[in-house]
Amino acid sequence: MIRQTALSIGALGLVAVTGCTSHWQHANKHATYKALIPSETVDAAHSVSIVTRAGDVLLESTDDGPKVVGKVRATTQARADATTVSTAIDGDTLQITVNWPDGKRKNSEGCDLLVYLPTMTGVTIDTSAGDVFVKDMAGLLDISSSAGDIEVHDHEGAVKARGSAGDIDFWDVSGTVDVETSAGQISLHRVGAPATVKTSAGDIYVILNKGSAGTLSASTTAGDVSLIGTGFKSSGTVQISDDGPISRFETSAGDIEVVIESE
């Protein structure tokens, strides 16, 4: 997975990615496309939408000027060199997309996107197969990845994430979370309530933010449940306060543990 420690920016501004080890059959030709976004374009945008197919996405806040880097894998060098990344404003949303030759991506081809922007208030990320890493954004964060891990750090707002196969890890999310993956572990550290968390196969571990209220409800077909120190076999409910939302946690095969951050 792309992680912050896997990125380094050299004197020429090129980005080296060492965190991805996926092997793409036949797509063994590579190219790097670097898009410098004019500051006035970013100033006109409040939110960002990022779309790629068969590629990782990294989105991180920066004060050094907006930039997008595409790491292309293609079946021929000509196709790799002809692939571009476009940035355009639609209303108040900055749209970032990958443009393949003849408008079509061939099987096994892909493009990782490394995106550096000022903090956006509203983020949508869509990749059919790839890891997603987001840090220091705000507003509603909506992530979709059919196959890949999802990692979020320091987000001021709510997060919705959907994945078909991959782990989900959040750190320091001020808003509510709605998270689902078909097969993978879910680990959420300091997130808002209500939290809706579901995986078909994997453990769930959640630390809710200080002052979280309402009711916690959890169930697992095969595993144990612990809700703020109270243990249950398969399912259980704990009321934190007399009023407030219901947070739900569900897995078909795995353990569930939910705690509240210490005061």
* Model confidence pLDDT, tens digit, residues 104-157: 999 899 999 999 999 999 999 999 899 999 999 999 999 999 899 999 999 999
> What's the token pair of residue 5?
């420690």
How far is it, in rounded angstroms, from Cα 150 to Cα 210? 24
Domain ranges of the chain: 1-118
**Per-residue pLDDT at 13:** 32
Q: Please, what is the average pLDDT of the chain?
A: 89
Give the ranges where 196-251 is alpha helix by DSSP (H). Answer: none
Band of pLDDT at residue 263, cut at 50, 70 and 90 = low
Residue 169 contacts residue 148 (beta carbons within 8 Å)? no
pLDDT in tens, 174-228: 999 999 999 999 999 999 999 999 999 999 999 999 999 999 999 999 999 999 9
**Per-residue pLDDT at 206:** 98
H or E, element range at 236: strand 230-239
Q: Which residues pair with 51 in a beta bridge?
A: 97, 126
Model confidence, pTM: 0.88
**Helix/strand/coil for 26:** coil
**Per-residue pLDDT at 37:** 87
CB atoms under 10 Å from CB of 221, counted, come to 13
